Structure 1
Amino acid sequence: MKDWLTIALSKGRLLNDSIILLNKVGISHPQLLLNGRRLLFDLPNQKIRLLLVRAADTPTYVEYGAADIGISGKNILLEDEKEIFEPLDLKFGFCRIILAEPIGAELTRKKNSSKLTIATKYPGITEKFFSQKGISVEMIKLGGSIELAPMLGLADQIVDLVSTGATLKAHHLKIVEEIASSTARLIVNRASLKLKYQRVFELIDQIKSVIS
């Protein structure tokens, strides 16, 4: 399968739009949107293999060559920097990485000068953000439901991914600062860029034509 292209798609919030994008360039499989356990889909006529992987793992599959190409959120790429080529912003999946805290927390903080505790799913982004500000913080890594941490006294602030901000409001949190914005990105294995140059750039050009 040396002449095949393997494309890793991130499961979760980017998947539907990723499938729609591939459909626009003629890459589709009838079972992709079925909620089954199948994770691998071959398109022999096009010599293309599609993989469904955890969003956090997509850059790893691409970096190590298990996939030639992937679609990943910029938030994932910022969190765990990989040796990959990132040729395209795909213009969907927009969200923001933000620092947030409970409404009124600044009043309490003036009375308590102890080190801030930050709950987050993104310790890499968080550490870099506070390091650039010269601020030392204690971090607690959580896998989800980050908004609960301040309510339960687990953390003073959170660093999380938001789209509309409705969940923050529901938990009486306010945005203190926007750290970065995130959209879906096309990523490419560096070896595949050389060994499968023609196929890779044909696909890049096709995708460019439908997102421009």
Structure 2
Amino acid sequence: MNKLKIAIQKSGRLNEDSLKILKDCGISINNGNDQLMAEASDFPMEVLFLRNSDIPQYLKDGVVDAAIVGDNLLVEKGKGIRAVEKLGFSKCRVSIAVPKTFEYTSVKDLAGMQIATSYPNTVNDFLESKGISADLHQISGSVEIAPNIGLADAIVDIVSSGSTLFKNNLKEAEIILKSEAVLAVSPKISEESNAILQKFRFRIQSVLKARNSRYILMNVPNNKIDAVGKILPVLKSLTVMPLAEEGWSSVHSVIDKNTFWEVIDELKAVGAEGILVCPIEKMVL
């Protein structure tokens, strides 16, 4: 039986979230310590645990059919590889950082500077697009110490919270690109593996839709149901069930988790009571 071969990061920030989304998709991976390959027990899938920097080449060569990687890695090393789903986790920025004492005004300030980075292709493309020439020092790991030891005037690195920059007396000066985890696909994927991939994508989409939504139910006067319907973004129509108390109904719907506080304020203003907001495990459209 054909199986979808998917690569995820062996260790680091993407590993745990990648395994979690597989689990939420109903895919159980039995991987022991230091195991480089594992099979799913309930889905036609093999998982390869690889070094992050090696994954783009495995995709290009068709050794794996798909991978969960940071979008920033595809920009740096994966040209020609398609990202078919944004996964919503491991969000970060690839940014230029300079010493706190440096009075940065624009990207033109980088002209002629020495820049340390683990992303030379990304930086070169960015500088060329701005018509700027600078000297790059390619470093693997601990890029943020380069200005402190006199190796570089500035750095380009991944930034999440900015705490690492702060600890090294650096400040974020320019964002080159924003990144998050994506599902990437090999250009050499077979038709059989692609068919399995589409089933996997369907599960991912159901999980991500649920993560970004909340189920809401409330008691509403019957003469206010139309007003509630205008406030709530619904999939098709509101679910309305009569209550024992005459003139009232229980109204159910789905809302975006990022806007539900604003929506609740509006619902209360038109007379909704007993509002409950619940998480959704899966959402199949």
Q: Could you state the TM-score of these two structures normalised by the residue count of structure 2?
A: 0.67
Deviation at 1:193, TM superposition (A): 5.7
- Aligned sequence identity (%): 36
Deviation at 1:45, TM superposition (A): 5.3
* Alpha carbons of structure 1 residues 194 and 55: separation in structure 2 relative to 1, 3 Å: same
Q: In structure 1, how many angstroms separate the alpha carbons of the residues matched to 2:110 and 2:125?
A: 22
Q: In structure 2, how many angstroms separate the alpha carbons of the residues matched to 1:105 and 1:40?
A: 47
The aligned counterpart of 2:18 is 18
Gaps of at least 5 residues in structure 1 are none
> What number of residue pairs does the alignment pair up?
204
Confirm whether residue 84 of structure 1 aligns to residue 98 of structure 2.
Answer: no
Looking at CA atoms only, which structure, 1 or 2, has the larger radius of gyration? 2
The aligned counterpart of 1:155 is 152
| C-alpha RMSD of the superposition | 2.0
Q: In structure 2, how many angstroms separate the alpha carbons of the residues matched to 1:161 and 1:82?
A: 19
Higher relative contact order (CA 8 A, sep 6+): 1
Gaps of at least 5 residues in structure 2 are 210-285
Confirm whether residue 201 of structure 1 aligns to residue 198 of structure 2.
Answer: yes
Contact in 1 for aligned 2:88/2:180 (Cα 8 Å)? yes
Contact in 2 for aligned 1:29/1:43 (Cα 8 Å)? yes
Amino acid at match of 1:26: G
Which of 8, 24, 41 lines up with 2:38 in the alignment?
Answer: 41
Secondary structure of the structure 2 residue equivalent to 1:192: coil
Secondary structure of the structure 2 residue equivalent to 1:92: coil
Counterparts of residues 63-212 of structure 1 (less than 5 Å):
63-106=60-103, 115-192=112-189, 194-212=191-209
* Alpha carbons of structure 1 residues 209 and 193: separation in structure 2 relative to 1, 3 Å: farther
Secondary structure of the structure 2 residue equivalent to 1:161: strand
Q: In structure 2, how many angstroms separate the alpha carbons of the residues matched to 1:105 and 1:202?
A: 51
Contact in 2 for aligned 1:10/1:53 (Cα 8 Å)? yes
Confirm whether residue 5 of structure 1 aligns to residue 14 of structure 2.
Answer: no
Q: In structure 2, how many angstroms separate the alpha carbons of the residues matched to 1:210 and 1:126?
A: 34
Contact in 2 for aligned 1:120/1:140 (Cα 8 Å)? yes
Contact in 1 for aligned 2:57/2:78 (Cα 8 Å)? no
